[in-house]
Amino acid sequence: MSLSKLKVKGVKLTDETGKAVQLRGISTLGLRYPEYITEESFKTFRDEWGANTIRLAMYTDEPGGYCTDGNKEELKQLMLKGVKIATGLDMYVIVDWHILYDKTPMLYKDEAARFFDEISKKLADHTNVIYEICNEPQESPFGEVIRPYAEEIIPVIRKHDKDSMIIVGTNNWSQDVDDVIGQKCSDENVMYALHFYASTHQDKYLEKAKKALSGNVPLFISECSICDASGDGVIDYEMGKRWIDFADENDISYIVWNLSNKDESSSLIRPEVKTLSCWKDEEYSDTAKWFKKIMSDKKDS
């Protein structure tokens, strides 16, 4: 069974019939933990959490990054492996060009164009693939930097794939979503990345999200957690619930960061746990337990 192609209609993500769709899923911590990119792991999130999406985050600028000293062929094969597994499980999958330390998407724009040209050609027949073309730009005003970058990269994808949904990052670690008002990309099947870490991103950021939505900007929460913005620190359950309530009330998709057993608050697996799937409750972090309850309660909706 192939999944419905997703289409942006107004501020909503919809299926082929025009019905609103909310994706809920899990993001890998880069591709640095390849042991979790397995059918058993993804199936656990699908069946036990109700996840319908996997985000494959491929760092571009870090030790082992795609544009630094990483092995490009190995990283592409790992990405394609993840897509194949998700496809076999009837899950949506996000191919994420995970800029972070590079700050501006323009730094490796030519590499991005080559990557998306190759990967979209290979995946052109998939109905479940979403392309995220710049994870968390910084010091990159939307109109002056991000939009021009997107207007170059999106046609590269469209050359092979005419109608897959594309996510475009926003400035300030994908929080300045209100800057997109009045200057969206020309391609209509695009959503704009909103990231939150509940302990850091409080009312001010939630108001920016509401402003963007009221300004006709379609939002996709392609990364979130309930700790602070470092991916660690204190958990804020109350603010986390306010963010998820906002997402649910507006059919906004959200992806939880991150699938690893790294010793930090946002990691879903406890650091001492070596199990790679079918985890027991005590093997999950506090963050994972909270999101599992939130997501599993929604899994049949």
Query: What pTM was estimated for this model as a whole?
Result: 0.98
Q: Using an 8 Å Cβ cutoff, are 154 and 190 in contact? A: yes
Tokens read off for 283: 């093997």
What is the overall mean pLDDT for the chain?
97
Q: What is the pLDDT of residue 299?
A: 72
Q: What is the pLDDT of residue 301?
A: 61
Q: What is the Cα Rg of the chain in Å?
A: 17
Domain range list for the chain:
7-296
DSSP-derived pairing of the beta strands 254-259 and 190-197:
unpaired
Tens digit of each residue's pLDDT (9 = 90 or more) over 158-193: 999 999 999 999 999 999 999 999 999 999 999 999
Tell me if residue 136 is catalytic: yes
Residue with tokens 């963050």: 287
Q: Which of 35, 74, 136, 283 is catalytic?
A: 136
Q: What is the pLDDT of residue 50?
A: 97
Q: What is the pLDDT of residue 16?
A: 93
Q: What is the pLDDT of residue 300?
A: 66
Q: What is the pLDDT of residue 2?
A: 75
Q: What is the pLDDT of residue 178?
A: 98
Nearest-angstrom CA–CA distance, 3 and 7: 12
Q: What's the per-residue H, E or C state across the chain?
A: CCCCCCEEECCEEECCCCCECCCEEEEECCCCCHHHCCHHHHHHHHHHHCCCEEEEEEECCCCCCCCCCCCHHHHHHHHHHHHHHHHHCCCEEEEEEECCCCCCCCCCHHHHHHHHHHHHHHCCCCCCEEEECCCCCCCCCHHHHHHHHHHHHHHHHHCCCCCCCEEECCHHHHCCHHHHCCCCCCCCCEEEEEEEECCCCCHHHHHHHHHHHHCCCCEEEEEEECCCCCCCCCCCHHHHHHHHHHHHHCCCCEEEEEECCCCCCCCCECCCCCCCCCCCHHHECHHHHHHHHHHHCCCCC
Q: Which of 40, 223, 282, 283 is catalytic?
A: 223
Backbone phi, psi, residue 245, to 5°? -60, -45
Tell me if residue 238 is catalytic: no
Q: What is the pLDDT of residue 136?
A: 98
Splitting the chain (301 residues) into consecutive groups of 10 residues, what average pLDDT does each group show? 89 96 97 96 98 98 96 98 98 98 98 98 97 98 98 98 97 98 98 97 96 98 97 97 98 98 98 98 98 89 61
- Compute the half-sphere exposure of residue 115: CA atoms within 13 Å on the CB side of its CA: 25
Q: Using an 8 Å Cβ cutoff, are 36 and 42 in contact? A: no
Nearest-angstrom CA–CA distance, 79 and 58: 8
Q: Which CATH class is domain 7-296?
A: alpha beta
Q: Using an 8 Å Cβ cutoff, are 292 and 47 in contact? A: no
